[in-house]
Amino acid sequence: MKSKDFLSITDLAPHEIRLLLSDAASMKAQGWQTTLSGKTLALVFEKPSLRTRLSFELAMKQLGGEAIYLSPAEVGLGKRESIADVARVLSRYVDAIAVRTFAQSTVEELARWAGVPVVNALSDAEHPCQALADLLTIFEHKGEFPGLKLAFIGDGNNVAVSLALAAASVGLSFTMASPKGYELPPEAVHRALELAARSESVFSFTDDPGEAAFGADIIYTDTWTSMGQEADAEARRKAFEGYQVNERLVSLAKPDAIVMHCLPAHHGEEVAAGLLDSPQSVVFDQAENRLHVQKALLADMLGGLCFPWPG
């Protein structure tokens, strides 16, 4: 029976998230290892990538394993070959599959048919690996989660969903500011409220960016137009007028607040030009930490580190 898949950040219990972050911090300090010698990861991508592909390939290399990248043209997922057939063929060759796709249903169908673990490297519904990297970055800069306030300014997209659920899981208070019609999906709100009640953190949402940013320890934003939404770009720009993260907005937060963005950024749009180069910006720590949390994720999934991956 295969190990558990990682399709959503909620596939990990709060204590498992903390243990995985501990693994990631240890592996970041230790550097290259041979934990996954003889193991191979398939990267099945329907979307272009910089950080996702590079971090997964390097994660396997630094753990002594191998990664094989499969482009959209090579696989034709669900078009040239059915998702079920791709999953079963890959399972005969590799030890795990990481998929970056347009639809959460594609990730779930791959996991249903695969005989090896499947990792959600990004879908329209969630970006759980990014959320792990964000938590590691916050912990490195703040040393805790409970008592902190994270303000997310922008679209209730896949990044926001995973981050909201991750924050609520570990006791980090989360406030979302977005215009009407661009909030988090109702099912994500319901789940986040459940998790926040258990961790005794605050989960709230508003259409006022200043209200969200006031007294925040972390201010986070992401692009207003994700891949696949290009036709709606102009409408989105109009809807998000007044939601730019800039010096005025950051001044409402605590003096030692950090600014986060998962990248790629549209400088001068969702974030003011130059702000991500300021001392408060930790965006390149976030980018680096994708490598370390994914090393821990893969090692725990396929090799075993501080805790056995739940199966």
19: CATH: 3.40.50.1370
Residue 155 covered by a domain: yes
Q: Does 237 qualify as catalytic in the annotation? A: no
Residues 174 and 263 in one domain: yes
For residue 264, is the peptide bond before it cis, meaning its omega torsion is within 30 degrees of 0?
yes
Q: Please, are residues 259 and 275 in contact by the beta-carbon 8 Å criterion?
A: yes
Residue 1 covered by a domain: no
Euclidean distance between CA atoms 195 and 154, whole angstroms: 22
51, 53, 62, 130: the catalytic one is: 130
18, 53, 127, 236: the catalytic one is: 127
Q: Does 290 qualify as catalytic in the annotation? A: yes
Residue 308 covered by a domain: no
23, 95, 134, 222: the catalytic one is: 222
Euclidean distance between CA atoms 207 and 180, whole angstroms: 7
Residues 47 and 140 in one domain: no
Q: Please, are residues 55 and 296 in contact by the beta-carbon 8 Å criterion?
A: no
Does 129 count as an annotated binding residue?
A: yes
Residue 53 covered by a domain: yes
Q: Does 100 qualify as catalytic in the annotation? A: yes
Residues 171 and 95 in one domain: no
Residues 156 and 97 in one domain: no
62, 191, 262, 300: the catalytic one is: 262
Mean pLDDT score across all residues of the chain:
94
Residues 46 and 105 in one domain: yes
Convert the pLDDT of each residue in 89-137 to its tens digit: 999 999 999 999 999 999 999 999 999 999 999 999 999 999 999 999 9
pLDDT tier for residue 227 given thresholds of 50, 70 and 90: low
Euclidean distance between CA atoms 252 and 224, whole angstroms: 22
Distance spanning both ends of the chain, measured CA to CA = 8
Residues 35 and 153 in one domain: no
pLDDT at 75: 84
225-252 mean pLDDT: 90
70-75 mean pLDDT: 86
Q: Residue 179: phi, psi to the nearest 5? A: -70, 160
Euclidean distance between CA atoms 179 and 177, whole angstroms: 7
Residues of the chain above pLDDT 70, percent: 96
Residues 283 and 296 in one domain: no
Residue 311 covered by a domain: no
Residues 228 and 135 in one domain: yes
Does 261 count as an annotated binding residue?
A: no
Q: Does 130 qualify as catalytic in the annotation? A: yes
Convert the pLDDT of each residue in 172-203 to its tens digit: 999 999 999 999 999 999 999 999 999 999 99
Q: Does 262 qualify as catalytic in the annotation? A: yes
298-305 mean pLDDT: 84
Instruction: Find the domain containing 94 and state its range.
Output: 9-127+289-302
Classify residue 3 by its DSSP letter: P
Q: Is the pLDDT confidence value at 64 over 60?
A: yes
pLDDT tier for residue 304 given thresholds of 50, 70 and 90: low
Residues 224 and 213 in one domain: yes
Residues 69 and 204 in one domain: no
Does 227 count as an annotated binding residue?
A: yes
122: how many CB neighbours lie within 10 A of its CB? 27
Sequence-ordered alpha helix ranges (H) in the chain: 14-30, 51-62, 72-75, 83-93, 104-113, 128-142, 158-170, 186-199, 209-213, 233-239, 247-250, 283-302
156-160 mean pLDDT: 97
57-84 mean pLDDT: 92
290, 292, 294, 300: the catalytic one is: 290
Does 290 count as an annotated binding residue?
A: yes
Residues 170 and 270 in one domain: yes
Higher pLDDT, 149 or 33: 149
Does 51 count as an annotated binding residue?
A: no
Residue 309 covered by a domain: no
Q: Does 244 qualify as catalytic in the annotation? A: no
Residue 85 covered by a domain: yes
pTM of the predicted protein model: 0.95
- The tally of domains found in the chain comes to 2
Residues 258 and 136 in one domain: yes
pLDDT at 73: 82
Residue 2 covered by a domain: no
100, 191, 236, 292: the catalytic one is: 100
